[in-house]
Chains A and B, each alone.
Chain A
Amino acid sequence: MALTYTDYFILTLFSTEQPKKGSTVFHILQGKKTASILYRAADYSLDCFFGFFPTIVRHAFFQRLDQLVSVGYVTFNSDIDEYRQTVEGKEAAERYFSHHYYPTKVRWMTHGRAVQEFQKKVYFLTQIFSEIRHNNSRYIPLEKNGAIQQWAKQWLKQQRSDVQESAVKFGQEWKLLLSQLESENAIVIAQSMSGHQIVGLTKKQLAERMSVEALEISMREADTFSKLVELTAKQQTEVPLFYSILKEIMEQNDNSLSKSAKETIQLIQKGYSLEQVTNLRNLKKSTVSEHLIEWVILFPKVDIKPFIPKEIYQIAEDLMNENPAYTFKDMQEKIPAMEFLWFRLIQIERRRKNG
């Protein structure tokens, strides 16, 4: 059976150099928010796709992986339960993606939620402004999410200029932004828009008209919106309406932390020690450690040093410089007081520095 876009995409998630566990890759795509999966996502260089497929089906994922093994593009080592891309696989993926779209801008672990919210809001405002331009107030909103409907009402109220004027400006901002995109991407975005007497195309319809699979359209869309977020942030003065939407999302976007982790971090930020948080919240020490790891992974600017005793940090740093491949076990032999949390934090910091 011929391989599909989805198969080739899965193939690219594996590497010829670093073996990866199938179930870990699955959980990364699904977006399972535990410290170990978050860490692995960064370790496997797959943080960009973390949570990109929230409804992925385990059975279907492994079936595709098996198929990649059967055609020789991936090898499976059942002793350690790890998959590795073969050289043929690498070449096949390169050949395939030389004429298919591959996303380069998505950073789903850190930006996924914000990008999706931005996309929803600007598409909905597109409909609203288009109806305003055509002087029509009798229409059914295409956005069904009550919170977004409420938000749109508030946002429109805050605009100082005349509503017709804002509508024109909004359209012109779209033009300016789309003109900076690869034309195929601009087409995908424009054809998805709905407004006055125009209903946008679904992903499947776009896929059929462009003779590709629906996933390729999803990838283009997510990638393009990631790019639009980047452009909007850079060109604040040229696209003030788009920027005001984005700014608000960015300011509120601390939701990438899970709820319980957020509570832990709030206490830490108030100056409580890890032990105090453990007692106060009546949690296991390991849970609080996980929250901390989640935080430092999702927020790369957070300094890890306050959480590690100074002298241990220094010795561990030196040892890791000597031999970056040191495992936790190796480290514990050298420094008996070493804790796993400290080791993980140091690893994360090194990854930040070295990329």
Chain B
Amino acid sequence: MDSKVDIHELLKLKFGYDTFREGQEETIRAALSGKNTLVMLPTGTGKSICYQLTGYATNGTAIIVSPLISLMQDQVEQLKMNGEKRVVALNSLLSPNHKRQVLRQLHQFKFIYLSPEMLLQPQVLEALKTISISLFVIDEAHCISQWGMDFRPEYSSLGQIRKALGNPLTMALTATATPRVREEILTSLQLLPDDTHQILYSVNRPNISLGTIQCENHAHKNELVIEMVQKISKPGIIYFSSKKMADEIALLIRSQTSLAAESYHSSLETGDKIKIQHQFIQGAIDVICATSAFGMGINKNNIRFVFHYHLPASPEAYLQEIGRAGRDGQPSVALLFYEQGDHYIHQRFQEEALPSEDVIEMVYRDPSKLDLFPNEDSHKQLLSSFIELKRPLQEVKRQMELQRKVKQNQLYFMIHYIQSPECKRELLLHYFEETLTQKPEICCSSCGLDLEKYQTSEENQVNSHKEFKKEWQNTLNDLFLLENL
């Protein structure tokens, strides 16, 4: 490890930034001094720079375990855009041929992104053993824990894998983890608390004010959403639990206001999804009506509001989603609209989210029954990994029961968050076992939230409905600079 590396120079050279953001330098310095790290930095503060820069500053290859293919692709593209060619994502999208080719040339890469499933494949693990690993990164490390959100059974094998790889220097990153989750991350990765440098920043985002709005009924909710969307500075995101409602409200906004609004969810064709993301980043869309599918990998600093039309499933998810607002540090607002009974949608999701005891037993008796499930079925994926990991039946049943309870408690917390007259910020921090040290000037709807302060200013011109260009020749001229040739 080269301790003489000037990390400020490297930051400028590789990423074009002059200064580090909070927590980044401390993390990088700790890692460069050879310490394992557990890093909790709030959403939107640039966690990836922590490991990417450490990777650049050390010899060898950084391997990064990431739970979502889309997240991996985004990171790979960002690195490539910054001129890094020695980067690859090993996941199920890779053709068998291409995968073999990559495995043969593994040492040529500086950054290798992997899904945990891929890491469990013997030939992948063997290939990784042959290269020099500078850093072992676990992104979204809360997936290790059953007490957080997005528990992934494959993540619980990472400790063993780390050992098999000779205990390389490790960096575990997360945005939202309670002390209990953090403890489980350390235990599971076999990191000793005394030997691990923990860089923990508050989940609090003081420039985002928090509000909850109780609505009388569906129509009232729509009315209020339209009113707020017009009033408050844009751009913004409205989150939904249902694709249908996301479409409907986007249409409603387009028809009742002059704003450019689009919906975004898993039913869109891939090409159209990418177009909408890019239009939003470019500033051609004022409001995105989206399901939770939208947001990861969206690097946009000036998002002024995040609304929730439906109740989020957990405080972890809520913080992650509202954390997309105000990354530029400017005042931003998060509003949660609630109408009586909104939580039923999640209760139903929860009932469907995990396999029942009967199903678990059936599959354990005869694993070939898994073939009866469609491939994309989440129960199938979960149960297949339990079986592959050879988890005993009783343990799986116990885990599922625990998951159910955890999810239920997370939902109860969200209902309490809406209904309680106490300070919303304090409530959220309390959930993560933090205390609020300094109340921001504009805090939350319980402390008094003057939305006038977030009103659209003259400079915040919206797109309004774009005129439709009927001159195809001009489009080609603009794309290829064909005029005056």
Chain A residues with CB under 8 Å of chain B are 123, 126, 129-130, 133-134, 137-142, 144, 146-147, 150, 167-168, 170-172, 174-175, 178, 183, 186-187, 189-191, 193-205, 208-210
B residues less than 8 Å from A134 (CB atoms)? 481
Residue in B262, B278, B468, B472 whose CB lies within 8 Å of A194: B278
* Chain A residues positioned under 8 Å from B485 (CB to CB): 168
CB–CB A175/B468 < 8 A:
no
> Which of A137, A170, A194, A205 meets B480, CB within 8 Å?
A170
Q: Is the CB of B482 within 8 A of A186?
A: no
9 new A-B pairs (CB below 8 Å) besides A123-B271, A175-B476? A133-B480, A138-B81, A141-B77, A178-B476, A183-B472, A198-B479, A199-B279, A202-B272, A205-B262
Q: Chain A nearest CB: distance from B287 CB in Å?
A: 14
A175 to B77 CA separation, bound complex (whole angstroms):
31
- Chain B contributes a number of interface residues (CB within 8 A of A) equal to 37
A134 vs B78: C-alpha distance when bound (angstroms): 20
Q: Are A199 and B278 in contact (CB-based, < 8 A)?
A: yes
The one of A138, A140, A190, A204 that contacts B475, using a Cβ cutoff of 8 Å: A190
Q: Which residues of chain B are near A191, meaning CB under 8 Å?
A: 468-469, 472, 475
Q: In the bound complex, do residue A204 and residue B482 qualify as a contact, i.e. CB atoms below 8 Å apart?
A: no
Cβ < 8 Å to A, chain B residues 271-286: 271-272, 274-276, 278-279, 282, 284
Q: Which residues of A contact B93 (CB under 8 A)?
A: 146
B398 at interface, CB cutoff 8 A: no
Distance A129 CA – B476 CA, assembled complex (angstroms): 11
Contacts of A203 in B (CB 8 A): 269, 272
Assess the A142–B479 pair: CB atoms within 8 A: no
Q: Which A residue's beta carbon lies closest to that of B272? A: A202
Bound-state CA distance A204–B270 (Å) is 13
From B73, B468, B469, B472, A178 is in contact (CB under 8 Å) with: B472
Of B282, B473, B478, which one neighbours A199 at CB under 8 angstroms?
B282
B278–A140 touching, CB < 8 Å:
yes
Complex Cα distance A138/B15, Å? 12
Query: Min CB distance, B268 to chain A, in Å?
Result: 8
Q: What is the interface of chain A mostly: helix, strand, loop, or mixed?
A: helix
Q: Which residues of B contact A (CB under 8 A)?
A: 73, 77-78, 81-83, 93-95, 98, 254, 262, 268-272, 274-276, 278-279, 282, 284, 468-470, 472-473, 475-476, 478-482, 485
Complex Cα spacing A197 to B271, Å: 17
Say which residue of A144, A150, A187, A208 sits within 8 Å of B472 (CB atoms).
A187
A140, A167, A186, A190: the one contacting B81 at CB < 8 Å is: A140
Partner of A189 from B254, B472, B478 at Cβ < 8 Å: B472
A-B contact pairs, 10 of them (CB 8 A): A129-B480, A134-B481, A140-B77, A142-B271, A142-B275, A144-B270, A167-B480, A171-B481, A195-B479, A202-B271
- Let me know if B278 and A193 touch, CB within 8 A: no
The answer to whether B275 and A202 touch across the interface, beta carbons within 8 angstroms, is yes
Give complex CA distance A75, B282 in Å. 51
Q: Which residues of B contact A187 (CB under 8 A)?
A: 469-470, 472
State how many angstroms separate the Cβ of B48 from the closest Cβ of chain A.
15
CB distance from A237 to the nearest CB of B (A): 20
- Chain A positions within 8 Å of B83 at CB level: 137-138
- Which residues of chain B come closer than 8 Å to A147, judged between CB atoms? 95
Bound complex: CA of A142 vs CA of B473, how far in Å?
A: 22
